[in-house]
Amino acid sequence: MISKNILLFLKKESILFVACFLAFFSCFFTPPDIQYIHYVDFRTLILLFCLMIVMAGMQDIGLFHLISGKLLKTVHTQKGLVCILVFLCFFSSMFITNDVALITFVPLCIMILKLVKKEQLICITIVLQTIAANLGSMFTPVGNPQNLYLYSISGFSIKEFIKITFPYVMLAAGGIFIVIHIFYKEKMPFEQINISQAHLNCKKVFYYGILFLLCLFSVIRILPVTILLLLIIGGILADNKALFKKVDYSLLFTFLAFFILIGNIGRFPIFHSFIAKIVQGQEMLTAILISQIISNVPAALLLSGFTLQWEELIVGVNIGGLGTLIASMASLISYKQMVLEYPHDKRKYLFQFTWWNLFFLILLLLSSKFF
């Protein structure tokens, strides 16, 4: 029975298992020392924890039902609904980061498509939401962590930065819209569903709205994450302790394992020499390829020490977030939420995720020759 439960856990948490195994294996080549503490991006982990628990609170009070009701009243076709769900991720990620956009709107997508009895579309819609969040976040310096870092060290003005990313973001928006137009062929209106809002507590909505705003203040670095963590823990303890059980702790440990793995890889002398030789003159392509293995945030940190071609590097690590599941760690967020809700659709999701990510990756890479 114990072995069966272990097998079920490993099957359910396969990404966590692989990440932990690789992190553990890398420790044999780089023995644990004081440098390990510098591997971990505690800011990211704290923000993820706070956002997940606040989103759990908003779901618990029925706020997403309220939003669902508003959306269902404004659109009457499948295409219109999907466009709203996907482009909410696209545009919001420009200002609240791709992680926050996916934490916020993927659960909303699952809820709404269940309500309108279109569960067969959940998988592909979440894939498009993930692509939209990863590409929309490319637009601004605050859209994702790698942009913040490269914007700081490059010396670009906001105008110069946006001038670099604008054509790619516009092409991505057009491509996503065309895919939705072609894939979601049904134009007939879906059955309208009236969502009861009788039990919605407006005071609770305001309460969790304030907690969410505090998270956003931390995302844009107005509020230190340590203070945010204390405020969120205190706020949740004061209202609903049960929400702590709804946090996806396996996702947090997955991130932690990847941080250790990435940190150890960067300290391999052979790997360091290899990067120095291949990056010169091939910044964009190298950034894309490295992102597929260690994700785009650490790829940006790693490659910034080998080049001054900031424009190539900015584009490379951003479109490099497409491709594999770990090319952008934000993609793990939507993957986890999808698999938790529909564990039997894991292979289907991974296939569609890989297919459409490669499609947009190739499209943007080929288009870079004209920008």
pLDDT mean by block of 10 residues, the chain; 371 residues: 65 74 86 87 84 84 70 77 91 85 88 84 95 95 83 84 95 95 70 56 88 85 92 94 88 82 79 74 90 85 80 95 91 90 90 96 92 80
Query: Any residues with CB less than 8 A from the CB of 74 and at least 6 apart, and which?
Result: 84
What is the pTM for the complete model shown?
0.75
The conformation of residue 109, written as its DSSP 8-state character, comes to H
d(CA 128, CA 122): 10
Query: Any residues with CB less than 8 A from the CB of 335 and at least 6 apart, and which?
Result: 15, 130, 325, 349, 350, 353
Q: Taking a C-beta distance cutoff of 8 angstroms, is the pair 205, 61 a contact? A: yes
Torsion of CA 207, 211, 214, 215, to 10 degrees: -150
- Widest pairwise Cα distance in the chain: 64
Query: Any residues with CB less than 8 A from the CB of 189 and at least 6 apart, and which?
Result: 76, 77
Give the per-residue pLDDT at 188.
53
